[in-house]
Amino acid sequence: MLQVLLIVYIGAYPKGKNGEIQYQHIFESLAGYGLGGSTIALFGRVGGGIYTKAADVGSDLAGKVIEGLPEDDPRNPGVIADNVGDNVGDIAGMGSDLFGSFAEASCACLVLSSSSSHLLGGAGYYYPLLISAFGIFACLITTFVSTTCYRIDGEADVEFSLKLQLVLSTILMTPVLFFLPYACLPASFQIAGIQGSIGPFDCFLCTATGLWSGLIIGWFTEYYTSNQYAPVKRLAQSCETGAAPNIIGGLALGFKSTIIPVLAISLTIYVSFLSANMYGISLGALGMLSTLTVALTIDGYGPISDNAGGIAEMCNLEKVRERTDILDAAGNTTAAIGKGFAIGSACLVALALFGAFVTRSHQTAVNILQPLEFSGLMIGAMLPYAFSAMTMASVGSAAEDMIKEI
């Protein structure tokens, strides 16, 4: 769609005095594509998320309230809503969220590219789109290897197969990200408003750092959520002494799990900025999202298995349900990988968009010590808590109505 829009804009946009294509204005107009994607992602993620969790909680709690009504019982109408919710929230919601990040990262990189006269009119301005395009091919090869060449013999193999896809796609993309800038970009170029020149190796360094940071974020997210590792085992042991230690330990574990992902994102920002300034940060975001195909596949695995298990239970297929439970357990663990990707890439994308704005508006600096800017930072830090509180309250309210209806 980005490529189609580029072709349409180049054909439809007024030419310059000497008949030259106005790439700067075209790419700035194209930024609306990313913003539109993020706007819809907000509704998909929040609306779908509230629906799926309200249906899940309502359906399960109805079984607790009504004696003799197990989870996913065909007599419980909430089970249908729960199955639909798996689709609406965990598939469509996450898909739209990652699409929003992907579209904005691409648009931010294109806007920054347009401020360089060295990159326009040739393969240079296709470079951000080619990163994503080659990522699709790398992930297709990865999927073929993991589904055709790797045999699943037991429960542990399922989770390993999913993680293997992320590792393989990262390894496959690394040489691609090395050769791509040398094929597309000039030996040296400059971005307006940024001092110093940028070379192909600088671009490789940015994208590779983002790519491997994505793998690290995914791996450590999985480490803190899988029942095969120490953190979850310790949390399970805390249940032996009551609910309170379990809740306290779980909350502490959640806070602790953010350390490595934040360090990985910080390293990506630092290396990318040193290598290619704000253009480098936008490339870092694209590098992290280059394996988006696999990240989204892994994330969708759990909800699909959960949905299949609900249908099997309603049809009284006990043996099928036993198998789907194994798949669901692996899927729930690896689903955390996709969420790590979504948060990590969103952080880089936000910074890349800000960088594109600063570069194009020729602002030299933003002083956060000014009262207005600092107040904005404080309000911005508060908003996620307010937003989360409202969405959680909505889930609770909708779940109560659903329980009464059931």
Q: What is the pLDDT of residue 205?
A: 94
pLDDT surpassing 80 at residue 155 = no
Number of domains in the chain: 1
Q: What is the pLDDT of residue 394?
A: 92
Q: What is the pLDDT of residue 170?
A: 92
Residues 113, 86: Cα–Cα separation, whole Å: 39
Mean pLDDT over 161-183 rounds to 90
Position 330 confidence tier, pLDDT thresholds 50, 70, 90? confident
Range of the domain at 278: 2-405
Q: What is the pLDDT of residue 379?
A: 94
pLDDT digits (tens, 9 = 90+) for 235-247: 999 888 888 989 9
Mean pLDDT over 269-281 rounds to 89
Mean pLDDT over 67-75 rounds to 78
Q: What is the pLDDT of residue 364?
A: 62
Q: What is the pLDDT of residue 193?
A: 65
pTM of the model as a whole: 0.86
Dihedral sign (CA 93, 94, 99, 104):
positive
pLDDT digits (tens, 9 = 90+) for 21-64: 787 788 888 888 888 888 888 888 888 888 888 888 888 888 77
pLDDT digits (tens, 9 = 90+) for 180-208: 999 888 888 887 767 778 889 999 999 99
pLDDT digits (tens, 9 = 90+) for 85-137: 878 888 888 888 888 888 888 888 888 888 777 777 677 888 888 998 999 99
